[in-house]
Amino acid sequence: MNLEDLKKRHIQYDWRTIFVGIQENYFNKGVISHYAVEMMESGDESEFVRVLAWGVSSEDLDKVMLEIKTNYFPQLNEESTILIEENRKLRFVYLSKIKETCKDENKLLSKIAEFYGNHNYPEDMMTFVNYMPQKLPTTHEDIMNRFEIFLKRERIRFS
């Protein structure tokens, strides 16, 4: 995933989004530089942003992540509602993107299940994860409809 995926869906983002996106493996470290360049283009001429625009090495990533948190949102901890919401926003973009790119429904359900397992089993996704037990007998079509409803609800939330 990259910043273009957020722009395409008209999702606002900032350093908190970048931080959570890297921490939760939605983005690779290169997104830091891309965002820093965007910040410079919009008038941010701080030394920190200029340094980030040149790139971040793997060895420096932890240090840079700490500096981003310290410089832009020092009062927030990992369980803050704001950072949880950033994660939810990124989840929406990620799931929207796989829905868009994966035309085979079985493959799509497999990718959703993989995401579910890799992201700490979000409770609000259980009803459309194909291997999770359901309260009522469920068809393939029911699961797909629940996924569509979920995406529509999230789209409204972040629009």
Q: Are 56 and 36 in contact (CB under 8 A)?
A: no
How many angstroms separate the CA atoms of 85 and 18, rounded? 13
Report pLDDT digits (tens) over 2-48. 999 999 999 999 999 999 999 999 999 999 999 999 999 999 989 99
Report pLDDT digits (tens) over 74-90. 998 878 999 999 999 99
Domain ranges of the chain: 3-72, 102-158
pLDDT value for 135:
80
Query: What letter represents residue 28's amino acid?
Result: N
pLDDT value for 92:
97
